[in-house]
């Protein structure tokens, strides 16, 4: 299966596929060249008359960044260093804080801290707005630049200033960078054949890790599953499809994408060799569930395959393609939007749970570290009101499933 993030051939496809009729192309090209003449005029003036001498490469890079910033919060220019950093994001190991961020209303915003990472332990929350990084204002800062500033050598410290709903003023978080090694799957047996799986990110190895956990559960007599996608900020589209197809019947649509370029109009269907398409199942989501998490939740909700419990998801329903450029830099460009099997666009809306369960509001006046998890993971899950509600739903589903099986046996 092709990686959804990287495609070297896209440059050629863009050249061949953009535009409409030949006449309209001629008109559009003429207008474009006229505007490019204006751009080169400004560039020449800046090079010759600006008070300080600026390297031409810097001028061009800044111009490209400005162009992409005007498109949407998720499109950005990646200089060669940022492009190399991006390539390790999906491998499950990288240096930094362990936080997924986005631009929301032009403000740097936390999508989700990744469980067990420095950002998570420091107490960062979904929805926190980052207004400074090491004293530097994030206003007008590109997403890629913000990521680059928060990453660094393990053991070094970064200070981020955060605004949070309910706080009267911003507060600083001093966080020590670590080598982030994300274990994508956490598995816990809840008893009575009910199993709990937390999927932290959609990385290259996530489907394999999920397979291993499910195989172990199946050998122990798994009868029902809770899949926890809370604070899962997404990742690879292909991984989301591979996870989804484990729980729906072969041939069923998982997600489709639509864009301006023909090769961005794609359909992804289930092609699982083995799966768990009948087992009672609940998916947990919250505001930190984004992108690939929403694909999985949306697909299983549309097919009536799982009950969704929790709170409204983040609402990131666009596909970014990484396009390599000739000097080692790259573009992260929004090239399509994705839709659930029933044609729902989640972009800007999110997934609405079938059963809404809000967490109790935290009374917090200053930053504080999250408590360390209990030695027994069951202790933490017993205190989690959303997990406990999911258990109630699962038990009701198991009862209904058993009744249906008994009635079918009686009829036979």
Query: So what's the pLDDT on residue 374?
Result: 58
Query: So what's the pLDDT on residue 103?
Result: 87
Confidence of residue 245 (pLDDT cuts 50, 70, 90): very high
> Among residues 132, 148, 198, 316, which one is catalytic?
316
Count Cβ atoms within 10 A of the Cβ of residue 3 and give its class: 0-12 exposed, 13-18 middle, 19 or more buried: middle
Q: What is the pLDDT of residues 88-143, one digit of tens each?
A: 655 555 678 988 898 888 899 999 888 888 999 999 998 999 999 999 999 988 88
Query: So what's the pLDDT on residue 16?
Result: 26
Q: What is the pLDDT of residues 206-241, one digit of tens each?
A: 999 999 999 999 999 999 999 999 999 988 889 999
Q: What is the pTM of this model?
A: 0.76
Q: What is the pLDDT of residues 7-21, one digit of tens each?
A: 322 222 222 223 334
Query: So what's the pLDDT on residue 21?
Result: 43
| Residue 391: both structure tokens together | 């258990």
198 an active-site residue? no
Between CA 382 and CA 188 the distance in angstroms is 12
Cβ atoms of 124 and 162 within 8 Å: the answer is yes
> Among residues 79, 115, 209, 302, which one is catalytic?
302
Q: From 65, 80, 84, 86, select the one nearest 328 (Cα to Cα).
A: 80
Between CA 275 and CA 288 the distance in angstroms is 27
Cα 296 to Cα 59, 284, 310, 397, distances in angstroms: 42, 11, 15, 20
> Among residues 75, 291, 313, 329, which one is catalytic?
291
Q: What is the pLDDT of residues 250-266, one digit of tens each?
A: 999 999 999 998 888 99
Between CA 112 and CA 231 the distance in angstroms is 5
Q: From 254, 302, 309, 255, select the one nearest 281 (Cα to Cα).
A: 309
Confidence of residue 312 (pLDDT cuts 50, 70, 90): very high
Strand (E) or helix (H) holding 321? strand 318-324
Domain at 81-89+93-181, CATH class: mainly beta
Strand ranges in 84-192 using DSSP code E only, listed in sequence order: 93-96, 99-104, 107-113, 129-133, 136-137, 157-163, 171-176, 178-181, 185-191
326 an active-site residue? no
Strand (E) or helix (H) holding 352? none
Q: From 100, 129, 106, select the one nearest 290 (Cα to Cα).
A: 100
316 an active-site residue? yes
The dihedral through the CA atoms of 322, 324, 330, 331 has a sign that is negative
Q: From 135, 69, 74, select the one nearest 101 (Cα to Cα).
A: 74
| High-pLDDT (> 70) share of the chain, % | 84
Average pLDDT over residues 57-64: 91
Domain spans in the chain, listed from the N-terminal domain onward: 81-89+93-181, 185-319+335-406
Average pLDDT over residues 182-186: 82
Q: Mean pLDDT score of the chain, rounded to an integer?
A: 85
Higher-pLDDT residue of 31 and 190 is 190
Q: Could you tell me whether strands 253-258 and 224-228 are parallel, antiparallel, or unpaired per DSSP bridges?
A: unpaired
Average pLDDT over residues 295-316: 96
CATH architecture of 185-319+335-406: Alpha-Beta Complex (3.90)
Cβ atoms of 4 and 319 within 8 Å: the answer is yes
């Amino acid at each position: 299966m092709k990686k959804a993030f990287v495609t070297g051939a896209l440059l050629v496809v863009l050249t061949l596929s953009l535009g409409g009729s030949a006449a309209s192309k001629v008109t559009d090209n003429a207008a474009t060249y006229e505007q490019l003449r204006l751009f080169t005029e400004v560039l020449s003036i800046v090079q010759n008359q600006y008070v300080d001498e600026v390297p031409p490469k810097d001028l061009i890079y800044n111009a490209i960044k400005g162009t992409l910033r005007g498109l949407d919060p998720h499109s950005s220019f990646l200089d060669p260093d940022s492009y190399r950093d991006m390539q390790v994001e999906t491998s499950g190991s990288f240096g930094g804080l362990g936080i997924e961020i986005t631009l929301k209303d032009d403000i740097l915003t936390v999508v989700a801290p990744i469980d067990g990472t420095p950002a998570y332990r420091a107490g960062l929350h979904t929805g926190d707005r980052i207004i400074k990084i090491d004293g530097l204002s994030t206003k007008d800062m590109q997403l890629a630049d913000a990521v680059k500033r928060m990453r660094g050598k393990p053991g070094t410290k970064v200070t981020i200033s955060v605004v949070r709903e309910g706080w009267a003023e911003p507060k600083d978080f001093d966080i020590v960078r670590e080598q982030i090694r994300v274990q994508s799957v956490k598995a816990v047996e809840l008893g009575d054949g009910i199993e709990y799986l937390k999927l932290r990110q959609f990385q290259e190895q996530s489907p394999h890790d999920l397979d291993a956990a499910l195989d172990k559960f199946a050998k122990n007599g798994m009868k029902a599953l809770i899949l926890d996608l809370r604070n899962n900020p997404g990742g690879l589209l292909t991984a989301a499809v591979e996870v989804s197809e484990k729980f729906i019947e072969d041939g069923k649509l998982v997600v489709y994408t639509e864009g301006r370029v023909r090769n961005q109009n794609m359909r992804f269907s289930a092609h699982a060799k083995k799966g768990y398409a009948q087992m009672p199942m609940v998916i947990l989501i919250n505001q930190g569930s984004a992108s690939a998490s929403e694909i999985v939740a949306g697909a299983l909700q549309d097919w009536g395959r799982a009950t969704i419990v929790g709170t409204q998801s983040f609402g990131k329903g666009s596909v970014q393609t990484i396009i390599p450029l000739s000097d080692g830099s790259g573009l992260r460009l929004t090239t399509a939007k994705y839709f659930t099997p029933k044609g729902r666009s989640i972009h800007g809306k999110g997934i609405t749970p079938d059963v809404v369960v809000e967490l109790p509001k935290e009374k917090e006046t200053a930053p504080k570290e999250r408590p360390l998890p209990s030695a027994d993971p069951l202790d933490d899950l017993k205190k989690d009101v959303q997990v406990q509600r999911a258990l109630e739903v699962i038990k009701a589903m198991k009862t209904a499933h058993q009744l249906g099986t008994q009635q079918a046996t009686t009829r036979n």
